[in-house]
Every structure is written in C-alpha cells, then in structure tokens.
Structure 1
Amino acid sequence: MSSLKKKKKVTKFDIILYSISAILLIIILYPIYFVVTASFSEPAAVASGNVWLWPKGFTLEGYTELLKHKEIWIGYKNTILYTVAGTAIGIFVNITAAYTLSRKDFVGRKFFMLLFVFTMFFNGGLIPTFLTVKRFGLYDNFLVMVLPFSVSAFNIIVARTFFQNSIPSSLWDQARIDGCGNVRYFVQIVVPLSKAIISVLGLWIAVGQWNSYFNALIYLKSSSLHPLQLILRNILITNNMQTALGSGEAAQIALRRANLMRYSVIVVSTLPIMCVYPFVQKYFNKGVMIGAVKG
C-alpha cells in the first residue's frame, strides 16, 4: 500500500513531453483566441498588429452590423435543419452499409466494397452530378443538402473496420440460436455496442454539414433555403464590393465595416459547433482507436 501512495517521480522526459504538449496546445488554441479577441477590437488596432492578448478599442459594432442582416436568422434555421437531418441520414446510411459489408456471410461484399473505394478516387464530375440532381427533382430542394451526398466511402471504411474488430462474430451465432433475425440483431445488439463509432461519425458528418456551402451555391437557387455559411459569404462579398466601388469617406466606412465583420463572421459561424464538440469528444478517440486495425 505504501508503494502505491508514493508519488510518481517526474523525469526529464516528462518535463520535455509536457513542455512540447503545452507549446503545441498554445499554437493550436491561440489562432482561435485571436479571432475572438479581434472580433471585439477596432480594425485599425488589428491591422497594425497591436492586438495580442486583449481587445484594443473594445467594440461590439462588428456583431451589431452583422446581426442587422435578417437573413442570418434564416441561415441559422436552415443550417440547423440541414445539420440535424443530414447527420441522422448520414449515420443511418453509412452505419448500415458498413455493418453489411463487415458481415463475412454477405455475398459479394468485396465487390461492393471495391465500388465504394472506387468513388474515393473517381467521380462523374460537377456537370453530370448537377444534371443527375436536377433530373431527380432535387434542384433547389431542401433534400439536396441532406440526401444525395450522405454516403461517404471513408466513413463506411472506418465503421466497417470497427464492426470487424469490435463486434465478435460469436454474438451473431448466439443470437441466431435464440431466434434473433438480422434486423433485430443489428438494432438491439450491434447499435448499442457501437455508440463510440456512431458518435465519431455523427461529429464528422455534423461538422461537414454545418460548414457546407458549395453544394448550396451550386444546387440551391432560393435565398430562403440558403445555409448560414452561404449567407455569411454573400454578406462579406457585398461589403468588399461596396469597398471597391466606393470612394472617399463612403469607401472608408465600407472598409471599416468589412474589417469589423470579418472576424465576427468567423465567430458566429463556428461558435455553435464548437459548443457541441466537448460533449462528444470523449467518444472521439475511443471510437477511432477501437475501429483501428489491431495487431
């Protein structure tokens, strides 16, 4: 017992390791901190490099100017709907496909896996994809943001590896003896044992949906369907155009407004997803490592 109570001796290697970790942590976190600080600072102070640790010339004008645009709330609503629906559909299609491909008794699983892997390197291109989306009646439709691009070969590979390494085949044998079918086995046994990988894929898909703007730019025509990222992009482009086309005092006002909103846009667009991340972080490493190839 006495030996267990002894404190672990800190070695030089530990000091070096902790120092490197602290430096890397600062390198990663400081840009995020700087963006938040700059969003509350005067643009002139940011441009002159005087903003380091604390806001200089504290102001909320960037946020007030940004929130004057009513379409931001429409974008928030659309983005939340796209993220929730897209994540649910993405988890369903990728998890079910991955589980099917992980079953050794599935006939032709290597062939179908090859088809999924093939799409990681080759695709039809933008024009054929656009024509396909339009022919299916998904152009300028809510479903175009959550349905056609929900399948991810990478996510399927990660989930399939998880199922192969973490779900014993003996469970299926025992369940089958007890009269359990494939669907019931998947829903009642496999899914509860796969919370880690489901959380990881859910995080990946949710972040991708939240940050997505290119699909909306190509496939959405109605402004009422635009996600937040596309609306913020349009606001910044409009401000830059006003700055370029203006002259004299009007140009200076437009430039100041554009600089004020630049960092505010980043904070507004990333804050919600950053608040959600800590709640699923505990599953992140667990899910990836369990799904890793074991020697």
Structure 2
Amino acid sequence: MIVTKWERFFNGINALLLVIIALTMFFPFLYIFTISFSSIESYLSNELLLWPEKFVTDAYRHILSNDRFIHSLGVTVYITVIGTLLNLLFTTTMAYGLSKSFYGQKAFMLGVLITFLFSAGIIPTYLVVRATGLLDTTWALMLPILISPWNLIIFRQFFRGIPEELSEAAHIDGAGELTIFRTIILPLSKPALATFGLFYAVAHWNSYFTGILYISDSSKWPIQVLLRQIVIVNDSNALQQQVLTNPPPAETIQMAAILLATVPILIVYPFLQKHFAKGVMLGSVKG
C-alpha cells in the first residue's frame, strides 16, 4: 500500500494532536501526584512543581489512618460492587426478554424509549425515593439508576444478533429460558458485560450528587461526597480525626485524597481491557 505525502502529513498532524491531548489530560494527574508527595517547604517555595523534591507521605498517612475516610471508601466500594452487579442483572434480563417476540413487546419498548427521551426530574425522583423509605440508605444510591435505557437498548440489539439456532438447539435438549440465558447467552456476552459493567462501575464510583441529595447522615457518605467536602467546600472538619500532631498542609491532604479516590477505579480497567475493546463496537454497522 502506497502512502502519499499528504497522508503522511495528515497522520503526523493526528499523532501530534493526540500527543497534545494526552499530555493535557496527564498533567493534572502529575500535578496532583507531585503535590500530594511534597513537603510543606517545597510546596510553599515553588509556584509550580512537576516532581517532588523529596517524597513525603505525611498526607497519605494522615488520610489512611483516618476512620472516616476509610469508612467512606468502604461505602463507595460496596455501592460500586453491589450496584454494578444489580445493574447488569436487571439490564441483561430485561434486555433478553425484550429481544424475544411476544405480545405487547412494542408497548414495553415504547416505555423504555420514553424514559430514555424524557426524565422525570430531580424533585419527582426525590419524592419517590422518600416515599419508598430509601432516604439515608445506600439503596438510594443504587436503585433509582438500576437500569440505563441506553444500555438496555444496546444489550437488546446484541442479544438479537446471537444466532437463534443456539437457543433452538438448547430447547430441543430440554433447556429452559433461564438455563439458556445463563449457560449460552451470558458466556457469549462477555464483551458487552465488561463494557457496560465498567460504565456502570465508573458511574457508581464517581457519583456524588445523589449522595448529597439522598444521604444526610455523614457516616454514610460515599467517598466522592467526602472528597467534595475536603476539596471544594474546604471543610476543615471533614476529616475529624487528627492523626498527626502537626498535620500536613490542607492542599497536600486534598491532593492525596483525590489520588486515593481516583486510583482504585483506574486499576480495574486493565483487567477488562481485552473485553472492553470488543465491547465498544457493540451496535456498530457490520459489513
């Protein structure tokens, strides 16, 4: 294949733009990492640090020895794991049911599309959560977003693309729909499960507005709400337990808290990368 000079020029410009975008996204992480490991002298004497002059872990020891931070992190891990499992369970089962032909299927799909196009809003949702007794519980952070209409539609299209002959052969062998779904459909859906599982997990991990809206008990705050108090509100009482006699500067504590709240969800991606690359192509046009 012959590559013209204009194609090489175009590819070079694309590569340059991608490098610039990558550096733009990487720099905030580098800055957070640097400040979180810097001493108070280095922080105060330099307007811009690109690397710690001396690695100091006081901020991390201060945070990781704090019961409130560890508890909030545990709440977020619980919400992310249980919430993602529930999301996948209800999304896949409903999508599999709607991928079959039955009386009233169009009415059910119309209902899904309506919820996709129109949202009830914050106040009606809050009233429903309050009426069902979910306020100040972790279930309020999971059940209102149990099924994403968009993800359900993509899952439905994916299930419809699986050859029907596989299900028919299993029916001949005496397998029921639940057995077929569990032993045939789900194993073939690993790319979709990995992709949308990652989407659901990131949404649960990063959610803070629902925590502010539905959780008034600070002992049940997820990590993002506590992080908001530390970084944005600059609440000095957000971390009530003073572990060190001379605690590190508030700025280093803020940066360390951001890093500790971000890294765990980033670690998950490499384990799902193999399936994620296939899953992002779901719904694309096949030639």
Deviation at 1:106, TM superposition (A): 2.8
Identify which of 72, 87, 100 aligns with 1:90: 87
Identity among equivalent positions (%) equals: 37
Look up the match of 1:229: 224
Aligned residues: 274
> Is 2:152 aligned against 1:156?
yes
State the distance in 2 between where 1:67 and 1:180 align.
Answer: 51
Tell me the distance in 1 between the aligned counterparts of 2:15 and 2:225.
41
Structure 1: which amino acid aligns with 2:145?
F
**Could you tell me how far apart the structure 1 residues matched to 2:133 and 2:189 are?**
35
Paired amino acid for 2:27: Y
Letter of the aligned partner of 2:49 in structure 1? Answer: V
TM-score scaled by length of structure 2 = 0.83
CA contact (8 A) 1:239 1:257 kept: no
Q: What is residue 196 of structure 1 aligned with on the other side?
A: 191
The superposition leaves residues 69-121 of structure 1 with CA deviations (integer Å, 9 ceiling, x where unpaired) of: 42001101111111111011000011111112222x13332322222222223
1:137-188 Cα offsets, whole Å, 9 max, x none, are 21112322222221111111221222223x1122222222232221111111
Which sits farther off after the overlay, 114-123 or 21-30? 21-30
Q: Partner of 1:106: helix, strand, or coil? A: coil
Cα gap change, 1:50/1:235 in structure 2, threshold over 3 Å: closer, same or farther? closer
1:174 corresponds to which letter in structure 2? A
Q: 2:169 aligns with which of 174, 177, 183?
A: 174
Higher share in helix: 1
Distance in structure 2 (CA, Å) of the matches to 1:190 and 1:270 = 33
CA drift at 1:238: 5.7
Alignment partner, residue 271 of structure 2: 279
The DSSP-based 3-state class of the residue aligned with 2:281 is helix
- Does structure 1 residue 115 correspond to structure 2 residue 111? yes
1:206 maps to which residue?
201
**2:26 maps to 1:29:** yes
Deviation at 1:265, TM superposition (A): 2.0
Of 118, 123, 127, which aligns to 1:131?
127
Output the CA distance in 2 between the equivalents of 1:72 and 1:33: 23
Label 1:29 to 1:161 Cα distance change in 2 as closer, same or farther (>3 A): farther
CA contact (8 A) 2:229 2:235 kept: no
1:234–1:69: structure 2 CA closer, same or farther, 3 Å change rule?
A: farther
Distance in 1 (CA, whole Å) between partners of 2:226 and 2:235 is 14
Q: What are the Cα deviations for residues 219-250 of structure 1, in whole angstroms up to 9, with x where unaligned?
A: 122222211111222233563679xxxxxxxx
Q: Which 5+ residue runs of structure 2 have no aligned equivalent?
A: 238-245
Q: TM-score, normalised by structure 1?
A: 0.81
Summarize the Cα distance change of 1:31–1:11 in structure 2 as closer, same or farther, 3 Å threshold. farther
Instruction: Show structure 1 runs of 4+ deviating over 4 A.
Output: 8-15, 17-24, 42-49
Segments of structure 1 that go 5 or more residues without pairing to the other structure are: 1-7, 243-252
Task: Give the alignment's Cα RMSD to 1 decimal.
Answer: 2.9
